């Protein structure tokens, strides 16, 4: 299965906006069997690049990602084929990105105070974490002077 971008219905009036950010029956319409085990929230400054991260078996994870505030360039890499998929995710669009197991994931932050939330179908396991250096691919992040953790800079190249 490949990643799937799901547009959510949003309802606006004079009070503000409402949308269902997670609904199991909606995922089933896309043939996604997702059992949420953990949820993570990451708040980032503009020009940060995070990733590429993944968990090795038996602790691999599928992710259901949403930008709650701000805007990112989201990149997923199929670890079997090395296919690269790129998405621009903006909190104004109300979307979910389903990332199946077997994909490395990373993103570049395009706005300050960007908040990314992602649900996983398996618990985080430190011994199973792995990743790829964000510089290992010729990706145009749209960021001139990125902020990258030492941990991510030291990841292996693809």
- Asked if 118 and 94 count as a contact pair (C-beta separation under 8 A), the reply is no
Q: Is residue 27 within a helix (H) or strand (E), and if so which, with residue range? A: helix 24-29
- C-alpha 88/C-alpha 81 separation (Å) is 22
- C-alpha 120/C-alpha 138 separation (Å) is 28
Residues with a known catalytic role: 53, 118
- Asked if 21 and 13 count as a contact pair (C-beta separation under 8 A), the reply is no
């Amino acid at each position: 299965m490949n990643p799937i971008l799901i547009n959510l219905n949003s309802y606006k009036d004079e009070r503000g906006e409402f949308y269902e950010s997670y609904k199991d029956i909606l995922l089933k319409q896309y043939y996604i069997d997702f059992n949420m085990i953990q949820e993570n929230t990451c708040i980032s400054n503009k020009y940060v690049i995070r990733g590429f991260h993944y968990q090795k078996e038996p602790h691999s994870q599928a992710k259901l990602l949403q930008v709650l505030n701000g805007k990112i360039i989201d990149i997923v890499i199929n670890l079997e084929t090395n296919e690269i998929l790129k998405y621009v995710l903006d909190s104004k669009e109300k979307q979910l990105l389903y990332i199946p197991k077997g994909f490395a994931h990373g993103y570049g932050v395009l706005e300050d105070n960007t908040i990314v939330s992602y649900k996983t179908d398996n618990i985080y396991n430190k011994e199973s974490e792995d990743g790829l250096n964000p510089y290992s691919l010729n990706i145009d992040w749209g960021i001139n002077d990125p902020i990258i953790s030492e941990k991510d800079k030291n990841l292996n190249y693809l």
